[in-house]
Structures are given as C-alpha cells and as structure tokens.
Amino acid sequence: MPTINVQLFEGRTIEQKRAFVKAVTEATVATLGSSAESVDIIIEDVKRENWATGGKLWSDV
C-alpha cells in the first residue's frame, strides 16, 4: 500500500489537485504494480513563508 506525501506551495486549485492525484496514482500503478485503490496520496499545502531554499524564504523571492 504505497502512501505518497507531497508538499506544495499553497494556491493550487482543486481541479489541479484532482488531476495531479489521478496522474500520480496512474504512474504508481504502472510502475509498482499496485492497485489504484491501495494508493494513498497526502497533499500538504505550505505557505511560501514556511519554506526556504538556499537560506532564503520563498516569500522573499
């Protein structure tokens, strides 16, 4: 039972999230041979002020 955790900057639409989880589920089934019903995907929306790369907050970029 694969569980996939994804962190994204907040702001994606529900339509984008639906398309994303569909595509990731299909890719997981194709590559791991699991059933679609066994694939769990957890999307975590993260504010840009709570994510940094290279010592800089994304909210400052």
Annotated active-site residue 61? The verdict is no
The helix (run of H) or strand (run of E) holding residue 16 is helix 14-32
What are the E-state strand segments in 1-61?
Answer: 3-9, 40-46, 52-53, 56-57
Q: Which residue out of 1, 2, 21, 34 is catalytically annotated?
A: 2
CA–CA dist 9, 29 (Å, integer): 26
Which residue numbers are catalytic?
2
